[in-house]
Every structure is written in structure tokens, then in C-alpha cells.
Amino acid sequence: MKRLFFLFLSVFVFSATIFAQSEIRTPPHASAPRINGASVIGVTTGNPLFYKIPVSGEKPIRLTTDALPEGIILNANGVLEGCLSEPGDYPISVTAENRAGKTGRTVIIRAGSQICLTPPLAWNSWYNFSEAVSDKKIRAVADAFVRSGLSDYGWAYINIDDCWQGERMERPPFALLPNEKFPDMGALCEYLHERGLKIGLYHSPWIGTYAGFRGGSSDSETGSDDEAALLPENRLQPGQIFGRYPGVHVRGADRIGKHWFFDADLKLFAEWGIDYLKVDWHPNDIPTAARMHRGVRVSGRDIVLSFSNKAFRKDIPELSEYAELWRTSGDITDSWSSLSRIARDLPNWFPFVQSGKYNDPDMLQVGNLATPNRPNETFRKTRLSPEEQYYQISLWVIAAAPLILSCDIASLNDFTKNLLTNTEVLAVHQSFPVNPPQLCKKKGSVRMISRETENGTAVCILNDSGIKKTVIVSFADLNLFPSEKTTVRDLWRQTDLPPHQMNGNGFTVETAAHSGELLLIYDK
């Protein structure tokens, strides 16, 4: 019996190992250095530049540049920093070398009035720690980002969502201070910047936030809001003065107050070193958006402005003038019903995409997650299947949407790491200029979306059905005219399609149920 038991156990373990390996499409990373990220970096003339050159490969890697423009240095952590006083393009030749090889690339710094020229690669605390977010936990995420190598592939922003807010200053300008879980926000920003990472924060123009903390306005001249606030003994934690959601609605704090403190808050955020601001209120009205935009632009710092939650599509032509990102949906969950609902609607938003302007269909539901609006200390595996995770990232990449993680970075497994560090997939996401995606064809449960990139035409094939599909793709559907040099590359598997999948008019791809494929069509 024992022998049979161990034989069964061995077969089970072997099968589980093969299954886990089959989920990973991307081959192992090369030891030779590779310079990742966008080829063009935007910075506002006169504002500080901070850009870590992401380089993957076997460590140590020696990073060098040719002559840098006046006012810019490459620090010991591989970060370009400084300030450019004149607008224009500043090309920089970058070389990366390790014992396995050497590579070079030109990176252009574009000084002007536009930032975030390619979609952000970020992490957010909401589906992770949620109400338990703290200085200590954010530092641990930053360390895990570096240790896991995510920052070597261009993942740059660590964003603190709701639940960081405390009291306002006792004297003018009555700016918003962090609660006791964040004893020194400026020191936290410096900690992340020292590791080549950027940091984001959450705010709202309302009196209160969705999680029940102070927002950017008040009916009180000092921002106290004592009349609407819960008594201290009834609060779940310090600073959560309106109670857990839906307390903000119950206590009437879901509106803009008589006194506007948002600009004072922005100045303090800029002093701390904040790089990204998620602003949450509904509806995203134009006058308030414009007001916040003005405050960001005079803060003296490049701060990516992201509007949440779902915007009205009819407002985007005007609303998009005031932010780099805007939400296209309510909050996502790690379920196929939620993912597929958002995915079906997303093509309606494609026409608004351009460099520096992006639709945000909410966060990636990959890795180990937790429940929002709770003080989370433990995490569980996403409920999305591996194929559904490929579906989400494939669509988000072709849509030029921000890729925002919210999983536990310390517990990334091999599957999730490979999902997030495929250099050819990320190259499509970070391609400049950012062209709007096109819904090329929809036949039954299969959709085909394309986007022109700097390296060719990227194509995403989505299978919404519960069964595997064989998809015949015609070059004519993509408005392409192939030549003898035309090649179709499978980006997830990082290999060209074999001859038996190609013909003179197009190619054939098998797509698993609830899955997505990414391809690149180019001339060799």
C-alpha cells in the first residue's frame, strides 16, 4: 500500500509540475543585458527629472552614457536626474554591459509640457493591504520590487491608495497630514527614490474619501469637519472619521465642501516628493478636474494625474485635457464576469488614446490578492485562471492601458513573474508614440485588436468563449499588405510562427478558452 501511495503521490507531483510549467509561456530570461522601458521620456521644462533606466540581465551590470545634457546626471543607481531649462529633445546614448554581453540604446528626454508619454507600470495598495497600508508595508513593497527584479523591466510606481490620511495642520494653510501609520511621508518618498522607484498617493476633492478619510475640501474653515465625523471611540482607526464605505455617503461627505484645501495639499505632496496622484470622486466633473489640473501644474513637480472612478465617455474629449489617465469602469474584481464585462466595453474608449492620455480599465487581478475595504495582513491566490490572466494583460497592453498591480509582491511565483517581465510584451506596451488601438474584427466570441507600434503592428486575439478556438487571421482584416519579409511573432512565447501556421494571406493561431494572444507583424 505504501508503495502504491508514494507512486500515486509521485505521479501527482510530476503532473502538477508539468501543469505549472505549461502555464508559463515565456522562455527563461537571457543573461545578457537588455535595456527596457520607453525610448522617449517626457519631463516638464524646469521641473525635476527622475528616470531609472530599466536594465535586465545578470548582475552586476555596468551602465554608462555618452555626454549628458547640461543639468542632467546619471547617478550610481542608474537614475537620470536633474533639470532641463530649455524645451526640446535630448538624445542620450546608453550602454549596458555585464559578463554575458553588451548592448546599447538611445533614450530621448523630451522637455516640454507633456509627461507620461507611455502608459505607467505601477503597483497600488488597494487590493493588497487596503485599510492596513502603512509606511513599513510600503517600504517592504519597494524592497520586494527591487529584489524581484520588476524595476529592471520598467515597473516604476508604488502607489498608496486610500487610508493614509490623518488630521489637517492646525494653522494655515491647513494642509492634510498623514495618520500615525505614516510618521514621515517625505522620508518614505526619499526611501523609494533611493531605490530608483517613484511613489504615488490617493486623494479626493470631496469632504471625505470612499474609505472614510479626509478629502481635499471641507465645510469648515480649518478642515475639521467635526459635525459629520464619527466620535473617536466609534472609528475603526485614526483618521477614518467618516467610517468604512459606505460611510462617506451615509454621513454626507460625498461632495465638495465650501472650503478648498486641495491646492495646499498638492504643495505639501510636491514637497514630500510625490510622483503620481490618484484622485477619486464621482462624477468626474469638468470644473473640478480643471481646478485640480491647475494645482498640479503649478506644484513645481511632475505628478501624473489619474482620475477615478468611472468617467462618462461623453466627457473624455474635454476631461482628458486635465489628466493623464481616467477610469473607464467601476472597480474590477478577480472574476471572469467582471473582467469580461470591462473588456467588452473597453473598445468604445479606444479613440481617446494617445501619448500622455490613457484609458484606465482598473488594476490587474494577478498574483496573490486580498479584499478591499479591510485591514488585510494575509493574501489569497487570484480567482482568475492562468489563461484569464493572459487575457487581461494581453488586452491591457494592446489597449495602452496602465498596468497597475495590486498583488503581494513578496510572494510572486514563477508564473506571475514571467507574466510581468516578458520584454517583448512590455516593449509593445511602452512603444512610442502611443497610437490608438483598432478593433479590427469581431466574429462570435473572438475579437481581434491591433495597434501600430514603433516595431510593427501588434495584434491581440481574445477568446471570450469557454472552448479553445482556431482563429484564421487575414492580413486584409488588419489593413496590411505583406511582403516576402513579413514575419509574425508570438510575443508571449518569444518565437516566430512556424511555416505551417503561415500562408500568403495571413496566419492561424490557436487561442485557449478565456484567453488572449499577442503577436507582432513586422518585416525582417
Say if residue 2 is exposed, middle or buried (CB neighbours under 10 Å; 0-12, 13-18, 19+): exposed
- Across all residues in the chain, what is the average pLDDT? 95
In order of 102, 449, 524, the CA distances from 483 in angstroms are 32, 21, 10
Residue 517, strand partner residues: 461
pLDDT of the residue at 346: 98
User: From CA 241, how far away is CA 168, in angstroms rounded?
Assistant: 12
Is pLDDT at 11 greater than 60 in this prediction? no
The model's confidence at residue 5, banded by pLDDT at 50, 70 and 90, is: very low
Q: What is the mean pLDDT of residues 437-466?
A: 96
User: From CA 216, how far away is CA 218, in angstroms rounded?
Assistant: 7
The model's confidence at residue 242, banded by pLDDT at 50, 70 and 90, is: very high
The type of residue at 241 is I
Is pLDDT at 319 greater than 80 in this prediction? yes
Is pLDDT at 338 greater than 90 in this prediction? yes
pLDDT of the residue at 139: 98
**DSSP-based helix, strand, coil % in the chain, nearest 5:** 25, 30, 45
pLDDT of the residue at 22: 57
Q: pLDDT tens, 80-98?
A: 999 999 999 999 999 999 9
The contacts of residue 435 (CB under 8 Å, 6+ apart) are 353, 354, 451, 452, 453
User: From CA 138, how far away is CA 160, in angstroms rounded?
Assistant: 8
Is pLDDT at 283 greater than 50 in this prediction? yes
User: From CA 470, how far away is CA 501, in angstroms rounded?
Assistant: 11
Domains and CATH numbers, the chain: 34-112 (2.60.40.10), 121-429 (3.20.20.70), 438-523 (2.60.40.1180)
Q: Is 400 left (phi over 0), alpha (psi -120 to 50) or beta?
A: left
Is pLDDT at 7 greater than 50 in this prediction? no
C-alpha cell belonging to residue 308: 477615478
The model's confidence at residue 16, banded by pLDDT at 50, 70 and 90, is: very low
pLDDT of the residue at 353: 98
pLDDT of the residue at 504: 86
Of 507, 500, 516, 419, the C-alpha closest to 468 is 516
Q: pLDDT tens, 374-408?
A: 999 999 999 999 999 999 999 999 999 999 999 99
Q: pLDDT tens, 265-274?
A: 999 999 999 9
User: From CA 353, how far away is CA 207, in angstroms rounded?
Assistant: 31
What distance lies between CA 12 and its chain's CA centroid? 37
The model's confidence at residue 57, banded by pLDDT at 50, 70 and 90, is: very high
Q: What is the mean pLDDT of residues 42-68?
A: 97
- Asked which of 7-21, 224-238, 401-415 is least confident by mean pLDDT, the reply is 7-21
- Angle at CA of residue 142, ends 137 and 143, nearest 5°: 95
